[in-house]
Amino acid sequence: MEYASSLLGLLPGGRRTPGLKELLATVGGYLPPEQVARIREAAEFGASAHQGQKRRSGEPFIAHPVATAAILADLRLDADTLVAAILHDVIEDTPTPKDQLAACFGADVAELVDGVTKLDAIQFKSREEAQAESFRKMLLAMVRDLRVILVKLADRTHNMRTIQAMPPHRRRAIARETLEIYAPIAERLGLYNLKLELEELGFRALYPRRYRVLEHTLRKARGNQKEFLKKIERQLSAALAKHGIPARVEMREKHLYSIYKKMLRKRTSLAEIVDVYGLRIIVDELDTCYRTIGVVHSVFRPMPGRFKDYIAIPRVNGYQSLHTTLFGPNAVPIEVQIRTEEMDRVAESGIAAHWKYKTGEMAGSVQQERAREWLSGLVALQDDGNSEEFLESVKVDLYPDKVYVFTPKGRILRLPSGATVVDFAYAVHTDVGNRCVAAKVDRRLTPLRTVLRNGQTVEIITAKGAVPNPAWVGFVVTAKARSAMRHYLKGLRRTEAIALGQRLLAQALAESHLSLEDVAAEARAAALAELGMHDLNELYEKIALGERLAPLVARRLLPTAAEPGASMPVPLAIAGTEGLLVSYARCCFPLPNDPVFAFLSSGRGVVIHRDRCVNVEDYRKHPEKWLPVSWQNAPERLFSSEIRVDVVNRTGVLAHVAAAIASADTNIHHVSIEEQEGDASILTFELKVRDRKQLARVMRVIRRLPDVTRVSRTIAAHARDERSDSDELDESDSSSHTD
């Protein structure tokens, strides 16, 4: 077919395609002229296919794929990848078929474009299922060709750069997906620069107010910190030169999202984060790294327990470096990284650092082998469960590995932080996990739910005929372990499943000092009818396969009389608790659409907490008491919620705040006043509201009052995350979307 001879004229006013000139200049620096001509041809083809289409920002659509290709050109990728980036939306958004792409640009380009394309043509039950299925398809395409994810990451990076054109609720959804999935994938593949940019853009779009506050505070403190580090940099450079070590010392700044995550993780303020700035030392050879660490430790005293050797034991994405923390002047901690030029290149570009630009082939590298090993593991996961389960499994495996443990023969296994002995067993081999009965950690017998720590040696004891325990699902953290157990349990012969389910139900009833024989026939029939089961065998089978929880079924079979002294909370139809009493924790005041955590409590039925409430930490250790619950649509009732209002203590301030609450059509159930030092006071209101949106409106009205300095939604009193909640509510109030 004939393409437009030039992109000029395809755009309004004769403007050239934004970024095309820069793209061609970049690729011309490392690709031969015939490959540069292919990229220009692809741009003309894409402009013709997308002619008349515009982005939400109003610019021509072709600007987006060209900008995507420019991001990959900065990584110096091959011509096929850049052509696929330019054409990555052609199959999805235009009538152009895959066969036409293959005929014009080759089968490799067509497969790459198809791997990135979403599954919009297929009808799914929900948007979440469609998203998960698209993600599954993309990851499986990655197994065949890693360049698929490089195109997708560049596509997402440019979309995040231009996300301000999207409506607020879509910005938040896209930003959350970016932080949960795409930034961790970039980190897993060692694409550090892309990972940093995706995190910064995602953080700014999801929590704009928090981003602005952090950025402003750091900008004010930046001058003093930089001057302080320059002095240390000069001292280290002089010491290295004295020992004849050629090195380049660079100052680095921790990016905002890392600081924010550390503040949340450690529950600390920005003023207490001391490693905002650090130093990086780049040397010529590997053995020089270890000589350098000796010199550095001779200049400044090292902080005990903070030295990490990622050269001898690289991270899962192939990252290598020595990390140490020093006591600087005035005992200020300084984080220092030491690596070679090659390690630095891999740390910045990951798998892209080993691409053969002129042939389009990939050189063999540790990073690529580990990436392929991870992706191959996804193939085993994808056959088990639905698309959404698969996506959740992948999310668990995406986050950086923190624990390094040894087999008895000295083999190193990398596991996620929080991994247990059972996770280790399945990491060795699925059969070892299935037949695991006991374990030794550092030669001592230990429970199977023991959380592993760095450097431990683990020995798994197996037994012939042993089978996985369904209770393990409650504490394992790796996707492989969960998937293998579910696969095994689903494959049980029906008779085995029935016998297992009967034992589990008997154990649950035994906690109430009852047996299956004690349950009246009428109670059994009523429970079966309510659960939609034909007979007890079907019920036992569902329990064994994890589709029904034995404690929940047992409560339905118990006598209906309330226990002595039991409270009678108002029942609410929360999905997963039908027929049970439901109460709402007064430490965290959950509202509809809050992420919630539920467990069975004697005398109170099902207790609903917000999932960040510290009062549920102990219950997380007892998965047999958990219940999977979700909010039903539009519950018709009022809920209690508590807010804290910091005010200047002036005459009539309580009346002004109360009037503002009343003006928002909200009732005050209880109020308390706590005087602070100076002229400040804290007013705590318990309100009756329908949902998070109403609470957000109330908080917005209060925030406008002149004597109010801060409004926040409270959580458990001794571990609040008030800023998080108030910010999230304020953002969700701006549209009809509710998080």
**Shortest CA distance to 511 belongs to which of 549, 550, 546?**
550
Cα-atom radius of gyration of the chain, to the nearest Å?
A: 29
User: Which of helix, strand or coil describes residue 338?
Assistant: strand
Distances (CA, A) of 425 to 382, 401, 431, 444: 21, 17, 9, 16
Give the mean model confidence (pLDDT) for residues 24-40.
Answer: 90
> 């005087």: which residue's tokens?
675
Confidence of residue 327 (pLDDT cuts 50, 70, 90): confident
Listed in sequence order, the residues at least 6 apart from 692 whose beta carbon sits closer than 8 Å to its beta carbon are: 591, 592, 593, 594, 729, 732, 738, 739
Count CB-CB contacts under 10 A for residue 538: 16
**What is the distance between the alpha carbons of residues 229 and 237, in angstroms, rounded to a whole number?**
12
Q: Which two tokens stand for residue 265?
A: 């993780």
**What is the distance between the alpha carbons of residues 536 and 524, in angstroms, rounded to a whole number?**
8
pLDDT attached to residue 124: 42
pLDDT attached to residue 581: 57
Listed in sequence order, the residues at least 6 apart from 463 whose beta carbon sits closer than 8 Å to its beta carbon are: 435, 437
Q: Any idea which of 258-267, 349-358, 726-735 has the lowest mean pLDDT?
A: 726-735
Terminal CA-CA length for the chain:
48
Predicted confidence (pLDDT) at residue 175 exceeds the cutoff of 80: yes
Higher pLDDT, 33 or 629: 33
**Shortest CA distance to 149 belongs to which of 90, 191, 93, 105?**
191
172-179 — which CB contacts under 8 Å span 24+ positions?
172/205, 172/206, 172/731, 172/737, 172/739, 173/737, 174/205, 175/201, 175/202, 175/203, 175/204, 175/205, 175/206, 176/202, 176/206, 177/131, 178/202, 178/205, 179/203, 179/206, 179/257
Q: Any idea which of 201-215, 356-370, 477-491, 500-514 has the lowest mean pLDDT?
A: 356-370
Given a contact cutoff of 8 angstroms between Cβ atoms, the answer to whether 143 and 151 are in contact is: no
Predicted confidence (pLDDT) at residue 627 exceeds the cutoff of 60: yes
**What is the distance between the alpha carbons of residues 429 and 594, in angstroms, rounded to a whole number?**
38
CA pseudo-torsion sign 310, 312, 315, 319: positive
**What is the distance between the alpha carbons of residues 341 and 324, in angstroms, rounded to a whole number?**
18
Annotated active-site residue 92? The verdict is: yes
pLDDT attached to residue 720: 39
- The amino acid that residue 582 corresponds to is V
Going by the DSSP 8-state scheme, the letter that residue 362 receives in this structure is: B
Q: Which of 41, 74, 92, 388 is catalytic?
A: 92
Predicted confidence (pLDDT) at residue 569 exceeds the cutoff of 50: no
Give the mean model confidence (pLDDT) for residues 244-250.
Answer: 90
Give the mean model confidence (pLDDT) for residues 590-612.
Answer: 75
Listed in sequence order, the residues at least 6 apart from 635 whose beta carbon sits closer than 8 Å to its beta carbon are: 572, 573, 592
Given a contact cutoff of 8 angstroms between Cβ atoms, the answer to whether 259 and 270 are in contact is: yes
Given a contact cutoff of 8 angstroms between Cβ atoms, the answer to whether 516 and 505 are in contact is: yes
**Shortest CA distance to 62 belongs to which of 35, 88, 99, 25?**
88
User: Which of helix, strand or coil describes residue 291?
Assistant: helix
Confidence of residue 37 (pLDDT cuts 50, 70, 90): very high
- The percent of residues in the chain predicted with pLDDT above 70, rounded, is 73
Given a contact cutoff of 8 angstroms between Cβ atoms, the answer to whether 488 and 438 are in contact is: no
- Classify domain 639-732 at the CATH topology level: Alpha-Beta Plaits (3.30.70)
User: Which of helix, strand or coil describes residue 494?
Assistant: helix
Predicted confidence (pLDDT) at residue 114 exceeds the cutoff of 60: yes
**Rounded to an integer, what is the distance from CA 709 to the centroid of its chain?**
33
pLDDT attached to residue 12: 37
> 């008030």: which residue's tokens?
722
- The amino acid that residue 497 corresponds to is A
Listed in sequence order, the residues at least 6 apart from 100 whose beta carbon sits closer than 8 Å to its beta carbon are: none
pLDDT attached to residue 468: 85
Give the mean model confidence (pLDDT) for residues 184-189.
Answer: 78
pLDDT attached to residue 464: 84
**Shortest CA distance to 297 belongs to which of 324, 330, 257?**
324
- Classify domain 12-208 at the CATH topology level: Hypothetical protein af1432 (1.10.3210)
pLDDT attached to residue 625: 60
**Shortest CA distance to 256 belongs to which of 195, 224, 191, 211?**
211
H or E, element range at 37 = helix 33-49
Task: Classify burial at 569, counting beta carbons within 10 Å of its beta carbon; exposed 0-12, middle 13-18, buried 19 or more.
Answer: middle
Residue spans per domain, the chain: 12-208, 211-352, 401-471, 494-557, 562-633, 639-732
Distances (CA, A) of 630 to 139, 572, 576, 590, 598: 29, 12, 7, 12, 9
For Cα atoms 437, 441, 446, give the angle at the middle one, nearest 5 degrees. Answer: 50
Given a contact cutoff of 8 angstroms between Cβ atoms, the answer to whether 43 and 73 are in contact is: no
pLDDT attached to residue 9: 36
Give the mean model confidence (pLDDT) for residues 707-736.
Answer: 54
Predicted confidence (pLDDT) at residue 10 exceeds the cutoff of 50: no
Distances (CA, A) of 90 to 68, 261, 435, 492, 713: 14, 38, 50, 46, 46
**pLDDT, the chain, mean:** 76
Confidence of residue 290 (pLDDT cuts 50, 70, 90): very high
pLDDT tens digits for range 673-691: 888 777 888 999 999 888 8
306-312 — which CB contacts under 8 Å span 24+ positions?
311/286, 311/339, 311/343
Listed in sequence order, the residues at least 6 apart from 714 whose beta carbon sits closer than 8 Å to its beta carbon are: 588, 589, 642, 643, 644, 684, 720, 722
Listed in sequence order, the residues at least 6 apart from 324 whose beta carbon sits closer than 8 Å to its beta carbon are: 293, 296, 297, 302, 303, 306, 307, 308, 335, 336, 338
Confidence of residue 638 (pLDDT cuts 50, 70, 90): confident
**What is the distance between the alpha carbons of residues 363 and 366, in angstroms, rounded to a whole number?**
10
**What is the distance between the alpha carbons of residues 415 and 477, in angstroms, rounded to a whole number?**
9
Predicted confidence (pLDDT) at residue 634 exceeds the cutoff of 70: no
Given a contact cutoff of 8 angstroms between Cβ atoms, the answer to whether 425 and 452 are in contact is: no
- The percent of residues in the chain predicted with pLDDT above 90, rounded, is 17
CA pseudo-torsion sign 636, 641, 643, 649: positive
Given a contact cutoff of 8 angstroms between Cβ atoms, the answer to whether 169 and 736 are in contact is: yes
**What is the distance between the alpha carbons of residues 554 and 596, in angstroms, rounded to a whole number?**
23
pLDDT attached to residue 117: 74
**What is the distance between the alpha carbons of residues 321 and 328, in angstroms, rounded to a whole number?**
21
Confidence of residue 570 (pLDDT cuts 50, 70, 90): very low
Predicted confidence (pLDDT) at residue 235 exceeds the cutoff of 50: yes
pLDDT attached to residue 204: 93
Given a contact cutoff of 8 angstroms between Cβ atoms, the answer to whether 247 and 240 are in contact is: yes
Q: Where are the extended beta strands (E) located within 341-401?
A: none
Predicted confidence (pLDDT) at residue 726 exceeds the cutoff of 60: no
CATH 3.30.460.10 fits 211-352, yes or no: yes
Confidence of residue 605 (pLDDT cuts 50, 70, 90): low
pLDDT attached to residue 515: 80
pTM of the model: 0.53
**Shortest CA distance to 432 belongs to which of 463, 404, 457?**
463
H or E, element range at 608 = strand 605-610
Q: Which two tokens stand for residue 652?
A: 């009539």
Best-predicted range by mean pLDDT among 198-212, 304-318, 376-390, 606-620?
198-212
Predicted confidence (pLDDT) at residue 574 exceeds the cutoff of 90: no
Listed in sequence order, the residues at least 6 apart from 558 whose beta carbon sits closer than 8 Å to its beta carbon are: 512, 514
Listed in sequence order, the residues at least 6 apart from 545 whose beta carbon sits closer than 8 Å to its beta carbon are: 489, 490, 492, 497, 501
Class of domain 401-471: alpha beta
pLDDT attached to residue 185: 79
Q: Which of 93, 108, 284, 686 is catalytic?
A: 93
